[in-house]
Structure 1
Amino acid sequence: MDDEGLDPSAPNESEQRRMALQNILDAWDEALAEGVSADILATTAIFAALSDMVEAYGEEAVAEMAAGLPDRVRQGEFTLNRVMN
């Protein structure tokens, strides 16, 4: 631990995001292999994420964040295999 109580060997935020996404994708693949439909997985994942965020930040903060999602989707932020022109 350093003077601020942080573990210098802990993964940084970028690495944590990569690890989190990999864990979610692995669980996603496992659920698909067990016969869960991709649509049900997606809606359940969104529900779980929003529920957790509401608990942590409150309904209004999450509603404000969610209000920006349509533009982010349209701009391709969530498109994994986007072709850039």
Structure 2
Amino acid sequence: MTRDPAEQKRIALNLLLDAWDAALRQGVAPELLATTAIYTALTDMVEEHGEEAIARLMDDLPDRIRRGDFTLKPPPN
């Protein structure tokens, strides 16, 4: 059964969040867990798309971070 990309993303996110919580419960430091997750994601992306493509993709990362694209904001009241 093939799932649409939005459903696949939802499933992937839920599985990753479960693994993240399990690692925290076992005493893994959040900073180490985050660094390892980024490393794992980048190595998989480079393997799939190549170094140059992923380097280009990461070019705008500092601006996106500064813009708040990765900042969790509280829900509006």
User: More helix by proportion, 1 or 2?
Assistant: 2
The aligned length equals 76
Identity over aligned residues, as a percent?
53
Find 2:14's aligned residue among 19, 22, 25: 22
After TM superposition, give the deviation of residue 25 of structure 1 in Å: 0.8
TM-score by length of 1: 0.80
CA-to-aligned-CA distance 1:50-74 (integer Å, 9 cap, x gap):
0001101111111111111111112
Q: 2:53 aligned with 1:64, yes or no? A: no
Partner of 2:39: 47
Aligned partners of 1:53 and 1:62 also within 8 Å = yes
Q: Could you tell me which runs of 5 or more consecutive residues in structure 1 were left unpaired when the two chains were aligned.
A: 1-6
Partner of 1:4: none
CA radius of gyration, larger in: 1
Larger RCO of the pair (alpha carbons < 8 Å, separation 6+) = 2
CA-to-aligned-CA distance 1:12-52 (integer Å, 9 cap, x gap):
11111111111111100000000000000000000000000
SS, match of residue 68 in structure 2: coil
TM-score by length of 2: 0.87
